[in-house]
Structure 1
Amino acid sequence: MLKKLFSETVVYGMGTILPRLINYLLVPIHTGVLQTDSYGIVAYFYAYAALLNVLYTYGMETAFFRFVDKKEGIFDQIFTAILTTSLLFSGILIAFSSNIAAGIGFPESGNYVTWFAILIATDAILAIPFAQLRKQGKAVKFALVKISNVVLNVALNVFFLIVCRDIYEGKYLTGFQEIINTFYDPELGLGYAFLSNMIANILQIPWFINMFRQVRLRFHWKGFQPVFLYAYPLIFSGMAFCINEVADRILLKYLFPEEKLKLSSIEAIGIYSACYKLSIFITLAVQAYKYAAEPFFFAQAGKQGSPQLFARAMKFFVIVLSIMFVAVNVNLGWISDLFLRKEAYKEGLFVVPILLMGNIFLGIYYNLAVWYKVTDKTRYGAYISIGGAFFTLVLNLLLIPQIGYAGSALVTLFCYFGMAVSSYLIGQKFYAVPYDLGSAIFYLLIASVIVWIGREIQIEPQWGNFFIQNALLALFALLVLFKERNEFKQLFQRNKAIQD
């Protein structure tokens, strides 16, 4: 079973990690083209987009997996509901785009709001078709759609932000200037980052034409009511999660101590957001695992030995993320050189280890959250997430005016740690799982110590430093192999027996 979970994690990783890694090419593009304040505006808008995504899908993706085998026509019902509400919500946003732009402090950005309204509606409408692909085991198609979307998004960003700009300025291909001048507006600038994303999202729709042809738009409240009652607590937990994820960027705009730290709030958002991107390696691994684990946990929950299976899955999960934590931190120097193209962004690199560890605890929380999903006690997920959101808001309000975005990074770590601990303590009362806490604590502590040692050891030349840093990574990996040699041996023997 674990082999199946990890193999599906790899496949879904191709559909989540690879697209995001490709999308990660936008970081050097944007940090090379945009100044820190412009990049801050991009990050600020996407912070609001994350909150809206939760409202648009209102827990229906998880509800789909819970009810798809229990209720006939559930795909049609959920799809109809999301299609209707998405068109309604985006219609309102578009109608009041100028007022909304002024309300968030960017009065000249009404077109950005319109593009985001279309972008978010498309995301929500396609959420259930993507869930259907996962349910049907069509991981390859899932990956192809995701990859093609992000490749197109990156290509459009390059085209608008670099190619069109350079042709417009007469740097090369001057024969195309007349054509470029018919549609390219140099004043739009960072707006092309939003426009590219919107176009790429819309062009995902043709992949699902056959699925859409089979949809019967129908809605019956009596049949939909239990689905909604299951899902609606997930709205609060989802919103709370988004607050944990993006509230810092919103609050930085209003609370950042500009005079004290000699930096504007929008520049701070740009620097912090760019450095936050360097924690993406852990984030992507967590996301890929979550895509595979959610249907896996539902399928295994009622079977004998499932708690032990979930405990082993958690153990290997923590091991993998601990190794990744060390790998990213000991190589942070050349990674930052590769992706943060302007030196101004690198002043925030000190927050990366904190954010990486915070995302590890987020992944642990996702593992622990299985108990409230399989026992239909989703309200507890909402309670924990709302508590985390309250904690996030209060501590950001206290720390940002004192230490700027360093406070936001610390809050991220504290929040996800607290949520993981809370979920474990409550979950053991309703669905006891024998997690190996000793191993998890051991690996996370050792990984943290190794990263601290690596940061203290800095030598010249650079190749020597690179060698020493990665030698520490190799030592950690060898420690894991030695300590878990029996586990790996059992896993290998079991897989060999299955193949025989």
Structure 2
Amino acid sequence: MYLRAREKSLIFIGLKFTVVLVNVVANILFIVKLKYGVSGIFAANAVSSAFALLILSPVIVRNFRPQVRKTTLFELLRFGLPYVPSGLAAVIMDLVDRFILQRLTDYTTTGIYSAGYKLGMFMALFVAAFRFAWHPFFLSVAKQENAKQIYSKVLNYFVFACSMVFLLISFFIDEIVRLRIFGFTLFGVSYWSSTRIVPVIMLSYLMYGIYVNFLIGIYLKKKTHVLPFITGTAAVINVLFNFLLIPQMGMMGAAWATLIAYFSMAAILYFVVQRWYYISYEWRKLTLLVFLSAAAFFLQRHLSFLLAPVPRLLLVLMLPVGLWIFGFFEPSAKRRILNYLAFWKR
């Protein structure tokens, strides 16, 4: 948190990458070599966390002094305690679909669904990277006169970037799961059918990213007390739609229930927070972006000549071209893009 607050993004990213690498090595050691089983996962997490603490110890010693102020402590608790029930609701949303799917179908279906859910992590990683950078950024510009305009533009470009990731992964997901590395594929043949849920799972993470964008007013106006209501409502919606859709649609029903829940969470937050901190988002541009992305997705699904890799890649690239033509990018952004392209032509 200190590195993010100080906008030390490169150090933060380097540390995160190193911790992940240590975690992977520790998992291999405890699970594969030492045969610890499931407990090896917890041991690996403990090792990677201890490593992060060790690396950050000089920063902690140099910059933090123990002080207890009752007023500050009260403010911290008032701001932070709502995250406990909110976090619990988030855990329920993340896990309940597989629990219900297992009860209503079988272990095989649940295993295939879990594999597809992991493939949706491509979008989850992108959203997580944005979230780490977003909090210190929006706090740093909050006092600027044009802060709300900046926040609106950020949402535009965030959804655009997510749309590009969505189309790329959706169009090439079959090649990704079949890719051989040292003679092994990413998933076994029996799990290849899980790719059909990946687009829906990625859209769920995109909606979570939009939810993260809408959190601005909650932080700036210190209204975290509403978060348990919002995430709790979304968790209930998730459970209800899982029970409603899984008997009819199987694992696709679980995926759609997840998307509906995350959409509901973002929508509820938007309408609640706009009362305290109104931001005029550019819904016309966002609607254009959604329309063109959906058109590209459905064209690829229904036109046979788009099955080849090159036409699929060209279709992905048509999204920014279409947005350019229809005015999604403002003149200043167009100039920066043209200057960037001119630089690479040299």
TM-score band (shorter)? Answer: 0.7 to 0.9
Flag the structure with larger Rg: 1
Q: How many residues align?
A: 333
Counterpart mapping for 1:30-429 below 5 A: 131-159=1-29, 164=33, 184-185=34-35, 188-189=36-37, 191-214=39-62, 215-217=64-66, 219=68, 221-253=70-102, 255-258=103-106, 264=107, 267-338=108-179, 340-429=186-275
Deviations 1:367-419 (A, max 9, x none): 11211221111223332212111111222233334433222210111112122
- Kept after mapping to 2: 8 A contact 1:274/1:340: no
Counterpart mapping for 1:418-497 below 5 A: 418-458=264-304, 465-484=308-327, 487=330, 489-490=332-333, 492=335
- Kept after mapping to 1: 8 A contact 2:79/2:224: yes
How far apart are 1:296 and its partner, in Å?
Answer: 1.8
How far apart are 1:435 and its partner, in Å?
Answer: 0.3
TM-score computed with the length of structure 1 as normaliser: 0.61
Structure 1, unmatched stretches of 5+, are 1-130, 165-183, 259-263
Q: What SS class does the counterpart of residue 331 from structure 1 fall into? A: helix
Matching residue of 1:11 = none
Identity of aligned residues (%): 24
- Kept after mapping to 2: 8 A contact 1:358/1:417: yes
RMSD: 2.7
How far apart are 1:335 and its partner, in Å?
Answer: 1.1
- Tell me the distance in 2 between the aligned counterparts of 1:229 and 1:303: 27
Give, as a single letter, the amino acid of the residue that structure 1 aligns with 2:282.
D
- Tell me the distance in 2 between the aligned counterparts of 1:311 and 1:154: 38
Matching residue of 1:80 = none
Deviations 1:280-321 (A, max 9, x none): 222122111111111222232233121111111111111111
How far apart are 1:158 and its partner, in Å?
Answer: 4.3
Deviations 1:454-481 (A, max 9, x none): 1234569xxx711121121122231123
For the structure 1 residues 291 and 332, does the alpha-carbon distance in structure 2 shift closer, same or farther, using more than 3 Å as the test?
Answer: same
- Tell me the distance in 2 between the aligned counterparts of 1:223 and 1:425: 30
- Tell me the distance in 2 between the aligned counterparts of 1:478 and 1:332: 23
Matching residue of 1:13 = none
- Kept after mapping to 2: 8 A contact 1:243/1:389: yes
How far apart are 1:212 and its partner, in Å?
Answer: 3.9
Give, as a single letter, the amino acid of the residue that structure 1 aligns with 2:165.
M
- Tell me the distance in 1 between the aligned counterparts of 2:61 and 2:160: 44
Give, as a single letter, the amino acid of the residue that structure 2 aligns with 1:447.
S
Q: What SS class does the counterpart of residue 376 from structure 1 fall into? A: coil
- Tell me the distance in 1 between the aligned counterparts of 2:301 and 2:5: 44
Deviations 1:185-204 (A, max 9, x none): 4xx45554444333233222
- Tell me the distance in 1 between the aligned counterparts of 2:147 and 2:136: 14
- Kept after mapping to 2: 8 A contact 1:283/1:359: yes
Deviations 1:71-99 (A, max 9, x none): xxxxxxxxxxxxxxxxxxxxxxxxxxxxx
- Kept after mapping to 1: 8 A contact 2:30/2:43: no
